[in-house]
A and B are shown apart, each in its own frame.
Chain A
Amino acid sequence: MISHPVAPARTYVLVWLGLVTLLLLTLGSAYLPLGWLNGVVNLAIAAAKALLVMIFFMHLRSSHYVLRLAAAAGFFWLAILIGLSLSDFLAR
């Protein structure tokens, strides 16, 4: 019956602390002269933050696999959208 087990409030607060830490990391790292790595670090941290939000706040951690698949499908099609567009622009 319980498809949404209720997580303790502590979990949500810890996730929020993680998110704020990652925000400070991405802001700080942007001022380090890392060259092209700056962009990679920024995107990796953004992906980590998005995953934290989706896994804990949007409950993918305890979701039916069909829901995880639907969530992944959105990003899969986004990858196709950007990937195939780039295959044109990068190959000109």
Chain B
Amino acid sequence: MADSAIVARQFDDAAQQRTAADLGIWIFLATEILFFGALFAAYTITRIRYPEAFAIASRLTNVALGSVNTGVLLTSSLTMALAVRATKLGARKASIAFMSATVALGLAFLAIKGIEYYLDYTGHLVPALNFSYAGPHANQVQIFFYLYFFMTGVHSLHMIAGICLVGVMIAMASRRAFSPAYYTPVELSGMYWHLVDVVWIFLYPLLYLVARS
């Protein structure tokens, strides 16, 4: 695996093999889009039905922590893209450094999300656990928080999966498993990482920025 790519027998050449791998990951990512899509559809329907409640509920989220976390995640996508680039160029140490930065930023995201969940808990905003809200539209506000916890919770699970994946890539890279001719696992892990970022890019305005003005 050092200098030339190993081409499986069903492919004509390495380029075709890479395109097949990329097609595979895009099809998987499309299923991820639809997986989150069910939650986005539920959000859309309930927001259209209860606009006042969603406006109230969104103002109860922590916009400062949510915005910082968006920046953390966007930056982690940059370091991941640079890690894939370094791997393609055969810069092993840079690739490991960028992937370590990606893991660190991913963990920072989860830590900030954890602080946010704690503040939601102390603010009595967790449905089925301690939800209590005395204002108008209390039940519909609770629906928003069901969606908030499901959407951010499932997203955080994807973050944990991504962190594990990149961790495996760091271990493989340190055992010199990749070269400019073979870097598919790093490339595909990067694709997964970026898609989880894309999901958050939509979650951020939908959960934190409704009716702030």
Contact of A30 among B18, B37, B88, B212 (CB under 8 A): B212
User: From B89, which residue of chain A is reached at the shortest CB distance?
Assistant: A6
Q: Are B44 and A67 in contact, with the CB atoms below 8 A?
A: no
Chain A: interface residue count, which band? Answer: 35 or more
Q: Are A82 and B37 in contact, with the CB atoms below 8 A?
A: yes
Give chain B residues whose Cβ lies under 8 Å from the Cβ of A43: 205
Q: Are A75 and B49 in contact, with the CB atoms below 8 A?
A: no
Give chain B residues whose Cβ lies under 8 Å from the Cβ of A6: 85, 88-89
The 10 closest A-B pairs by CB, nearest first: A74-B30, A42-B205, A70-B26, A74-B33, A30-B209, A16-B78, A30-B212, A33-B213, A3-B15, A78-B37
Q: How far is the CA of A63 from the CA of B25 in the complex (A)?
A: 13
> 0/1 per residue, B30-41, Cβ < 8 Å to A?
111110011011
Say whether B153 faces chain A, with CB atoms less than 8 Å apart: no
Q: Are A81 and B18 in contact, with the CB atoms below 8 A?
A: no
Distance to closest chain A CB from B190 (angstroms): 8
Give chain A residues whose Cβ lies under 8 Å from the Cβ of B45: 85-86, 89
Q: Are B209 and A27 in contact, with the CB atoms below 8 A?
A: yes
Say whether B53 faces chain A, with CB atoms less than 8 Å apart: no
Q: Are B74 and A16 in contact, with the CB atoms below 8 A?
A: yes
Q: Are B201 and A81 in contact, with the CB atoms below 8 A?
A: no
Known A-B contacts A57-B77, A82-B44; the reply to A46 vs B202 at CB < 8 A is: yes
Distance to closest chain B CB from A51 (angstroms): 9
Distance to closest chain A CB from B184 (angstroms): 10
Q: Is chain A's binding surface mostly helix, strand, loop or mixed?
A: helix
Q: How far is the CA of A37 from the CA of B77 in the complex (A)?
A: 29
> 0/1 per residue, B183-213, Cβ < 8 Å to A?
0000100110011011001101110011111
Distance to closest chain B CB from A52 (angstroms): 9
> 0/1 per residue, A24-38, Cβ < 8 Å to B?
001100111110001
Q: Are A81 and B38 in contact, with the CB atoms below 8 A?
A: yes
Q: How far is the CA of A15 from the CA of B20 in the complex (A)?
A: 27
User: From A54, which residue of chain B is reached at the shortest CB distance?
Assistant: B198
Known A-B contacts A27-B209, A70-B27; the reply to A82 vs B194 at CB < 8 A is: no
Q: Are A63 and B22 in contact, with the CB atoms below 8 A?
A: yes
Distance to closest chain A CB from B6 (angstroms): 15
Q: Are A66 and B23 in contact, with the CB atoms below 8 A?
A: yes
8 contacts across the A-B interface (CB closer than 8 A): A16-B74, A38-B209, A38-B211, A42-B209, A53-B198, A57-B81, A86-B45, A90-B48
Q: How far is the CA of A77 from the CA of B33 in the complex (A)?
A: 9
Q: How far is the CA of A81 from the CA of B204 in the complex (A)?
A: 21
